[in-house]
Amino acid sequence: MTDVVIYKELESLSDKKIGVATLNAEKSHNALNLAMIQSLLPQLIAWQQDPAIALVVLEGAGEKAFCAGGDVVALYNAMTHQDGVKVGAIEEFFTAEYQLDYLIQTFDKPIMVFGQGFVMGGGLGLMAGASHRIVSETSRIAMPEITIGLYPDVGGTYFLNQMPAGCGMFLGLTGASINAADARFINLADFFVGQDKKYALYEELIVTKWGETCALNHQKLNDVIRKFEVETLNMMPASNIKPHLELIEQATSKSSAGGIVDGILAIESDSKWMSKAQKSLAHGSSITAHIVYEQLKRGKEMTLADCFRFELGVSVRCATKGEFAEGVRALLIEKDNAPQWRFDTVHEVDEQVISQMFEPVWQDDTHPLKSLGK
């Protein structure tokens, strides 16, 4: 069997090593499955505790994608099992995924992610929490869960709320694809490095004399990446978000999910990017639209750990009471691209349906993520 994640420890000029983890599912654009997650968790913990490891690099096999999302087909199979919804399998996947995302978010050593190609959904959950997030001219980043009846999880409750006014709500509702310039502008990336400099950057990591403290190695990694960034910044594409920022902020300033959706759909622009975002919103799940609105409103005051605990409950509810299965069926199983959503518009959604999505699944002392932190 092929290893789902390939691990290497590169020797540097000092007595320190660089841990490299490569998601190894190139044909599926490195879609994140449970086996990958269960492999990465203990390895990252081991590297965090190993004094010989100065930093960690997380990458995807091939050039087309870092990670194009989670393995939602496996979740679909659990949701549509002949013996009924396999809640245990759904809970197991999301619990492990969020534990991994939280570990990356709180990792003390530098973690560098080279986010080339597709970085979507679960892949963004891995990249968003890294200390050194690199994008290139090929990066295509999105949280397109509204198209499958889920919502932007994997820490989206936290990081979408850290963006410039309105951007998190807009991206969560539309699933709009963003480029490298956008990612840097909204704080989903730290550096831009041209795709053709990736392996030269890796070579530079090997010849760097890493220090004894995490703080020093964070700074040394900054210096190495900036050297390559300066050489390739002219390759960075123009932002799609910046020209629309005022319109996005106005549209998302309304005080209801329906008002915000109407505001986004009413934006007048000649941009193909905006038009595609509007079409995705119009075609997506109206239940998801309400979830995103509530998610970001409730998440403003939550800690990072509480965001993941909150999301685990909502994700299980989406699988057991929501439209997740129908969305995956239409987009990835039967591929008819004609989901039969329960409500035609966001204004028709029953408030009780939305309330169910946020009902606690566990008590605090039995929550699967109770040990994450405060």
Domain ranges of the chain: 5-366
> What are the pLDDT digits (tens) for 325-354?
999 999 999 999 999 999 999 999 999 999
Q: What is the pTM of this model?
A: 0.96
Q: How much is the pLDDT for 85? A: 83
- Binning pLDDT at 50, 70 and 90, where does residue 219 land? very high
* pLDDT of 92 higher than 80: yes
- Identify the helix (H) or strand (E) that includes residue 183: helix 180-185
Whether the CB-CB separation of 266 and 274 falls below 8 Å is answered with no
* Percent of the chain residues past pLDDT 90, beyond the cut: 97
Q: How much is the pLDDT for 278? A: 98
Distance CA 99, CA 41 (A): 8
**Do strands 17-23 and 5-11 pair parallel, antiparallel, or not at all (unpaired)?**
antiparallel
Of 123, 122, 172, which Cα lies nearest the Cα of 147?
172
- Binning pLDDT at 50, 70 and 90, where does residue 373 land? confident
* Percent of the chain residues past pLDDT 70, beyond the cut: 100
User: From residue 2, how far is each of 23, 25, 36, 117, 298 by CA, in Å?
Assistant: 11, 9, 12, 23, 42
Identity of residue 354: I
> What are the pLDDT digits (tens) for 183-210?
999 999 999 999 999 999 999 999 999 9
Of 27, 142, 43, which Cα lies nearest the Cα of 35?
43
Q: How much is the pLDDT for 134? A: 98
Q: How much is the pLDDT for 374? A: 82
CATH 3.90.226.10, applies to 5-366: yes
> What are the pLDDT digits (tens) for 140-176?
999 999 999 999 999 999 999 999 999 999 999 999 9
DSSP string, 186-241: TTS-SEE--GGGHHHHHHHHHTS---SSHHHHHHHHHHHHHHHHHHHGGGPPPPSS
* pLDDT of 121 higher than 90: yes
Q: How much is the pLDDT for 1? A: 55
Q: How much is the pLDDT for 257? A: 98
Question: If you average pLDDT over every residue of the chain, what do you get?
Answer: 96
DSSP string, 117-153: BEEETHHHHHHHT-SEEEE-TT-EEE--GGGTT--S-
Distance CA 368, CA 362 (A): 8
* pLDDT of 33 higher than 60: yes
